[in-house]
Each structure stands twice: as structure tokens, then as C-alpha cells.
Amino acid sequence: MNIPFLDHWRKRHGPARGAAVLVGSGPATGAGDDPAAAGAVAELLGECELLRAHAAGEGVGLDDSPASLEALDQLAPRWRDDEETVLRLGNDAGLYLGTVVVRTVPGAVWEIWPDGRPVVRLASGREIDVVTAGRGWAADGAPELCHVYAEAAES
């Protein structure tokens, strides 16, 4: 399986470890029809280490629920002075948003575009570029993560 963003992750973390759990209502398109691969992709996308550490430092627990997105939206954006942190935190925020959508919105699944970008495909066929939304949230506070989630849940 060739998923470009995995190569970058492997360089930082080494080979994947642990058991994979299928998250969502179907396999990620980038993983083909292999549920184990889809679960591994979903688990990898849901790590969001920097965001989880930052939120924990602010007293916010991330439990992969829509309420946790609202809590993130309430954080004071102290990270905006550091461009690298904005980018990394924005990526994590987008992946976390996607994880919440895939785990809680019926029919939502991860899809990996040919360029390696992860998006969430809703049951309606609509695709959400969650990383772009997360980057906007980290840099400008808009769109709020809970609003992107609400739109996805309505689709």
C-alpha cells in the first residue's frame, strides 16, 4: 500500500505498532478493501500528538467527541506567534476534526486523495478537506471546528 503521508510519519515514528481498529462505517478509500489497513490509517490519522498535548496542558481532554471540538474552539490561541506551531497544530486540528466526524457521523469515512491529502467523505458524497479547515482554525480561528462538524453532521 502506497500512502505518501505515511512515509513522512514513518520517518518520525518508525514502523507502526499495536493493533488497528476499524473506525467509521467503511474502509478508507486509500486503503482499498482491506479493513485492517483502513483501521490502521484511521488510527494513525487520529493520533494528533501535538494537539492532544497542547489541549491537555490547557486542561482540555480530547475524547473524540463533538463536545471536545467546542472545547478546542474556546482555547486562547497562544500558539499563533510561531508559524511552525500554527502549521503543525493546524494539521493536527484538522486530523482530529476528521477523526471526530468519522467516529460519530454515520457513513463518514477517511479518503486519501492521490496527492496524499486525507479528507473525510460523507455518506452524501461530499468531501471535507479537514486539514485545510484545521489550518484555518489554528491561524485565524475560523472556521470554528464545531461549526465544520455541525455542517458535516447535517449532510
pLDDT at 7: 56
Of 19-28, 76-85, 107-116, the least confident: 19-28
Q: How far is CA 8 from CA 2, 13, 36, 143, in A?
A: 12, 9, 20, 27
Span of 22-26, 33-37, 77-81 with lowest mean pLDDT: 22-26
pLDDT recorded at residue 42: 85
**What is the percent of the chain where pLDDT is above 70?**
79
Is residue 132 pLDDT above 50, yes or no? Answer: yes
The pLDDT-based confidence of 26 (bands split at 50, 70, 90) is very low
Task: Answer whether residue 22 shows pLDDT above 50.
Answer: no
pLDDT band at 43 (very low <50, low <70, confident <90, very high): confident
- Is the confidence at residue 20, as pLDDT, over 60? no
Burial 107-126 (b: 16+ CB within 10 A, else e): ebbbbbeeeebbbbbbeeee
Evaluate if pTM is beyond 0.75.
yes
pLDDT band at 31 (very low <50, low <70, confident <90, very high): very low
> Burial, 59: exposed, middle or buried (Cβ in 10 Å; 0-12, 13-18, 19+)?
exposed
Give the start-to-end residue ranges of the domains of the chain: 48-154
